[in-house]
Structure 1
Amino acid sequence: MNTAVAKFDKIPSDESFVNSDEILQYLANNIAQIEKIHCSHVFQNEDVAKLHTILFENHEIVKLRSLKLPKNGLTTESVPSLARIIQQTELLREIDLSDNEIKPEGLSFLLNHALLLPTCLLESIHLSNNKLGPKGASVIASLLRAEHSLRELSLSHNSFGRSIKSMGLYLGRLVRLDLSQNKLGDRGAHIIGEVLAAPECLLEVLDLSNNKIGYSGAYHLADAFIKGHNKSLQILNLMDNNIETEGAEAFGVVLKFSHTLRELNLSRNSIGDNGVRLIAQGIIENEDTCLQSLDVSWNGIKDAGAGFLAEMLMQNSALTHLNLKCNFICDSGMKVLAESLKADMALEVLNLVGNQMRDPSPFIHVVCCHPIKLKTLYFEQNVLTDEAENQLHAAFAFRENKKGWLGKILRDIKEKKMICFDLTKKRHGDEELLAIMVSLAKFKPCVTSASFGGSMVSCRSVGRLSECVVAANEVNLQRLYIKDTPLGFNGAVALAKALLKNTTIRCLSLKRCDLGEGSLQIARALADNASLLRLDLEGNSIGDLGFQEICKSVFTDSKNHPSLISLNVANNRINDAGLSHLHCITKLEDLRLDGNRITDMAALDIAKAVMGHSSLKWLCLRNTDITWKGVRALTLFLHTPLVLDADCGLDDSTKH
């Protein structure tokens, strides 16, 4: 669906416009402040006449420099008004009439009544997609022959074909030229080649995409560089021209000799691995290359081609952007590309979208462990798992964090300051935690508290934490908080083994860590850990079996856990059966059972466990299925200091 666009630079406004009349009224009221007008899908021929009237009546205060009216369906009928606007707007330097219906006769009128006048100082004209054809090419040729200020001309999608010959060498007077989608063929490329070869050529930016020039046309274009005449062209777009390997060979030679070309787009040209080899070889052999951007996307490149490009990257200090989107590069090719990034080279942006990468570890390693200059890696639409994509994102985040907050933590550790790090509000993952763990193991400072979590943290880094911090007992870690981290069974096992050896942690919180059956391992470790004071396992779906195992380790008829005073098992899918193992509580002060599936039957088990003991100070039963009857029964057995936190409708007078 076409959407109307109206933009006016230099006006800080929240105005919204429904039709052209509103736009014109706004212009009339604010014309003295407007330097750029951009309207599409909204103006008609008569609106251009009204715009001229506004500009003419306010000519003394008009500051308009850019007028863009693309996609408005304007016809030759609008041309007289356009001509008068160009004549009478002294500061106008750019006009865009792309995607309209201006015929050659309309363009001729515009030429004779505006563009050829000495008062016309236009520097940029956009006439793309007006179907000008051969007749329009002749009019453009007349414009180019005249002495004028024109520097940029956009003529894409005008079906010029061989008629481009009428413009000839005059095209070389321009600085920027867009001739894309004009069916130029190899003969048209020959003409453009002659333009580029002329010593007086000024062209710096040339777009010849989608012109079917083939390998023969590529050779014609290459001649301008091979013969050493062209010293001006900096940006060349040859996308979708089917130049194949033979055409790539021609541009491999171009890249060997060119000292001005900064950007080359060879996308969608079927050059394959052999074509890439020739391109890469040309870049390698040019010690003074200025090429900063190379686009070889959609070219059927496989691992061998990636190898040629990797070799080129290791010997190149100029290329900053490389686009390999939608090729067939697999892990073997990805590995050599990643290895090449270690070299002292300039590459900042690498596009690998739509290839066959499965294993991101080579890129993760090089990003995290080497001082490379790569800032952006595009890797969507490969065959990566969600976890692998998260690891890649985390690798780049790690590098940025190392320059900021992570770097500060690592410096504090090195200086053996007392550490208390909270990462819960910072974007972090395994790489950050692994760096911290390595540093802690090396320098052994005192760590009072550690808090972290999130989807980018996995059992990989938690396993290292368990081994070199929790089990080692060398940094005096007292409080450990992990939240919203998919630890799973393996992460729980690693922590459980560490808790068997730990003697310093007083508070352990594992909220929403997907422990599942791993909670059994944590529970069994509690029986042999005599230092833990507070345990928080909220939101881990430990179920009845998990809670029963905790009860065996913490609550027994003969002996309670020697140190535990606070237990949180809220939101864990515990039913009445789970509480049947809740035996005598003698040391626990806080117990949270909220958010579980317990009923009035469980209230009796709770009452038996706490009856006659004064240590429990707070019991939370919110969001359970216990009714006011169960709460009333509980109150008969609870001692006075205990606070019962429930939400079943009893008034405060019935609660202790």
Structure 2
Amino acid sequence: MNLGPISAKVLVRLMQQNPNISKVIIPKNQIGDEGAKIISRFIMKNSTLVALDLSSNELTSSGGQAIFNALGYNNSIIDVNLSSFEGLNRNTLGAKGVQPLKTVLAYNLYLTILNVSGNFIGNKGLQYICEGLQQGQNQTLMKLNIALNEITGDGIEILFKIFPSTRIRDLNLAKNPLKNKGIKFIGDLLAKGGLVLESLNLQETQFTHQGAVSLYSGIKRNNKLKNLILDDNNLQGRTLNELSQALWTNASVTKLSLENCQLQDNGCLYLMDGLERNMYLKDLNLKKNSIEQQGAIRIAKLLESNQNSLLNLNLSENRLGDFGGLMIARAFQKNNCLTFSPKYLTQINKLSHDNIAKARGDQCPIQQLEIENLIKTNQQIHQVKLNIEKCKVKKVKVESKFKVIDDRYEMLSKDLKSKFSVVQEASNQLTNIQRDLDFQEQKVDERHLKLLNENEKMFKNEQRKFFKACKENEKTIEELREWREQLRRLKYEKNHERQQFVGTLEDLNKKLYGAEMSYQALFSELQKQKAALQKAIEPEQAVQEIMEEAKEEEQDKKTIKRLRVKKGKKSAKKGAKPNKV
């Protein structure tokens, strides 16, 4: 259709005039960001719209933000599709485009289905979605499609932490490079109890048999998963036995797709061993797996036993060979479960006639029984054709009845046309009034667009100023960093000098302590020598004292003698006798 931004205005007017419109589905157009903003303003006020599909409409991050921000004010939309198909008009929301989902998923209680596949949101975009689911403990989102978004194992680790608290039933992770790391988290998640996940798509997620081990272990313990898609992954290896054991124990998976998984005959044998004990799987896709004659014989053996619940089996684009195909054809005759679609009956009839003619031409006696069986099937097909012819006759009768009803309708429509002409005139008047109102509304819309453009220009100018200020702040921050670096160097140098000074001071203290110890040793030695000298000097002093005392006694004696002599002379003079001493 190639609808552009102007078409978005017309679409909004139509929805305003007709409030009964509940779905807007316009994929593969050129609405663009401008058209998305116009639709988002309508969504904020609308309460009847249920589904919105703007997939592949050349939306970028600004258009995605406008739509998701509008969902924060809407109380009716349950299905949003902003995915992107390969080719023209792709949406490229990126992580920035889904950032508003952080708040929308936390507070919106109506959104049930969300599809943002093919928008390259990456691990950062998935983180915004997980934070929104975790903050408000969202219990309404049931189907999430984030395929083809360059999500890796690190993103799955974030999803692993919050997923058990959600109510998501359908998760599509196809064509993301999860590899073995991401698949390990998926396996651990499936092994947890309390999940409500029923459908999981892991097509082309680039994991091998090494990562599949944890996935098979999770399938063993899970009892809720019903639909599992593992297409376009290399599962060839020793771990196929784990898949067989998982099918033994699992009682919930009803649809399993293993298209282009390089199973070959070995993988097919393991798979059939697991299906022998599984009575729940109904739909199995083994397309493009290089299955040859040995695998076909094992499949035929399983179908003959009727020990399974398979209703649909796809073996197209394999190398079964003539003998393998013959064995499976025989197994179909004994199988009571598998069903054929009526659209293939003509093709089967033609092939059976060709095979009968070929067998008769070759005149192979071994295949006579097969020819008889083909004739029987041909008769059955003929009976089906007769039934179809009977249905056609019934269809003709019903069409004749409808023709009678159409004639009556024409009679009634003629009567209504006259009445309709009166209504038509009134409606023409109303349409003229509506045109005037539309013209006035268009003028108002133009004014609003001008105001929006002016506001955008003002916002861009303010944003430029802000970026300039940020650059100046970055320069000042760089200068501060340089000053801090210089201060750090100075502190380092000062600390180094201080350590050197402390080292030299400790050396001096050690030397001073050694000098004090040597001084004390010398002082004690001098004391000892002094004591020894005193001991040596004491006898000499005693002799001198004795000599001095002797001298003093002699002097005393001399003085006494002198005194006696004087007294004797005096007494002699007086005539007295001298006293004898």
Paired residue for 1:240?
232
RMSD between superposed Cα atoms in Å:
3.5
Paired residue for 1:627?
none
Q: Which amino acid aligns with 2:327?
A: V
TM-score, normalised to structure 2's length?
A: 0.57
Cα distance in 2 between the residues matched to 1:234 and 1:313: 22
Paired residue for 1:121?
110
Change (3 A) 1:344 1:329: closer
Cα distance in 2 between the residues matched to 1:210 and 1:241: 5
Cα distance in 2 between the residues matched to 1:334 and 1:224: 35
Cα distance in 2 between the residues matched to 1:359 and 1:63: 53
- Decide which structure has greater strand share: 1
Cα distance in 1 between the residues matched to 2:355 and 2:383: 10
Q: Which amino acid aligns with 1:40?
A: K
Paired residue for 1:93?
78
Equivalent residue pairs, number:
361
Cα deviation code 1:304-360 (max 9, x no counterpart): 211111111222341111111111122211111111112242112589x9xxx9994
1:324 is matched with which residue: 315, 330, 348? 315
Q: Equivalent pairs: percent with the same residue?
A: 21
Q: Which amino acid aligns with 1:223?
A: S
2:174 is matched with which residue: 156, 164, 180? 180
Change (3 A) 1:253 1:4: farther
TM-score, normalised to structure 1's length?
A: 0.50
1:144 is matched with which residue: 116, 129, 133? 133
Cα distance in 1 between the residues matched to 2:63 and 2:204: 30
Contact kept, 8 Å, 1:82 with 1:110, in 2: the verdict is no
Contact kept, 8 Å, 2:198 with 2:224, in 1: the verdict is yes
Shift of 1:52: 2.7
Q: Which amino acid aligns with 1:161?
A: T
Cα distance in 2 between the residues matched to 1:193 and 1:49: 41
Shift of 1:39: 3.3
Shift of 1:140: 2.4
Contact kept, 8 Å, 2:120 with 2:150, in 1: the verdict is yes
1:45 is matched with which residue: 7, 20, 33? 33
Contact kept, 8 Å, 1:246 with 1:275, in 2: the verdict is no
Cα distance in 1 between the residues matched to 2:61 and 2:273: 51
Cα deviation code 1:230-280 (max 9, x no counterpart): 111000000011011434332222111111000111111111011111101
Paired residue for 1:520?
none
Cα distance in 1 between the residues matched to 2:376 and 2:7: 47
Higher relative contact order (CA 8 A, sep 6+): 2
Cα deviation code 1:595-616 (max 9, x no counterpart): xxxxxxxxxxxxxxxxxxxxxx
Cα distance in 2 between the residues matched to 1:363 and 1:312: 28
Paired residue for 1:103?
94
Contact kept, 8 Å, 2:6 with 2:35, in 1: the verdict is no
Cα deviation code 1:564-584 (max 9, x no counterpart): xxxxxxxxxxxxxxxxxxxxx
Contact kept, 8 Å, 2:199 with 2:226, in 1: the verdict is yes
Paired residue for 2:193?
199
Cα distance in 1 between the residues matched to 2:350 and 2:25: 49
Consecutive unaligned residues in structure 2, runs of 5 or more: 85-90, 357-374, 397-581
Cα distance in 2 between the residues matched to 1:168 and 1:293: 28
Cα deviation code 1:109-168 (max 9, x no counterpart): 2322x2222x43211111111111121232122133241111111011111112211111
Cα deviation code 1:266-311 (max 9, x no counterpart): 111111011111101110123xx21011111111011221111111
Change (3 A) 1:290 1:340: same
Moved over 6 A (4+): 362-365, 391-396
Cα deviation code 1:497-548 (max 9, x no counterpart): xxxxxxxxxxxxxxxxxxxxxxxxxxxxxxxxxxxxxxxxxxxxxxxxxxxx
Cα distance in 1 between the residues matched to 2:175 and 2:121: 13
- Decide which structure has greater helix share: 2
Paired residue for 2:333?
342
Q: Which amino acid aligns with 1:33?
A: I
Q: Please give the residue correspondences for 1:414-453 in structure 2 after superposition, counting only pairs within 5 Å.
A: none
2:122 is matched with which residue: 120, 125, 133? 133
Change (3 A) 1:238 1:78: same
Consecutive unaligned residues in structure 1, runs of 5 or more: 7-16, 366-390, 409-421, 426-656
Q: Secondary structure at the match of 1:32?
A: coil
Q: Please give the residue correspondences for 1:1-20 in structure 2 after superposition, counting only pairs within 5 Å.
A: 4=2, 19-20=7-8
Paired residue for 1:28?
16
Cα distance in 2 between the residues matched to 1:178 and 1:48: 25
1:277 is matched with which residue: 253, 269, 278? 269
Shift of 1:5: 8.1
Cα distance in 1 between the residues matched to 2:81 and 2:203: 20
Change (3 A) 1:56 1:223: closer
Change (3 A) 1:400 1:109: same
Q: Please give the residue correspondences for 1:73-84 in structure 2 after superposition, counting only pairs within 5 Å.
A: 73-84=58-69
Change (3 A) 1:345 1:90: same
